[in-house]
Amino acid sequence: FLAGTPIPDTFVVTSGNAFEGTKHLEYQSACGNGEAACYENLRWQNVGVNMATLPAASFESAYYEFAIACNGGHSYWSDFRLSFGTNPLRNYNPLTVRCDGAYRLYQIPLRLFSANDGPLSFSELAAGLNEFTTPGGLWTAGTWVRVDELRFRW
């Protein structure tokens, strides 16, 4: 289903309740010390997705697409991050993730991901996708977060 390593290790591939198909990624928020909510970046490292098929002429219109469903309180500040090769993480934030149990499809243009040294560039893509964070958010204790159909489109 997906190469690489999840962080935290409770962000897992599971069956049922998918946006499309039969499998999706799922996380169950488990806050410590009786906290009502806690921030967690749902990451996957060492993904190894080849981006060589994206033509340079399509970079301006290319986007990262994914579906998210969650329950509990909405995550009013959510982070989305991508890293290609050994380049720094490129961020897109803030975005509110509505948590009412229904899947929503998100599309973020690749050119909007940035870091302190500037926006994501086409040349970084050649190194291949190393890591994604989809999403990082403030999750109510006990909330489930489901992520499905992660893809790049152009």
Query: Is the pLDDT reported for residue 54 higher than 80?
Result: yes
Provide the mean pLDDT of the chain: 94
- Segment 6-53, tens digit of pLDDT: 999 999 999 999 999 999 999 999 999 999 999 999 999 999 999 989
Q: List the 63-70 sheet strands across, edge first.
A: 12-15, 23-28, 144-153, 63-70, 104-109
Q: How confident is residue 56, by pLDDT bands cut at 50, 70 and 90?
A: very high
pLDDT for position 12 = 96
- Give the integer Cα–Cα distance in Å for 93 and 136: 10
- Segment 61-115, tens digit of pLDDT: 999 999 999 999 999 999 999 999 988 899 999 899 999 999 999 999 999 999 9
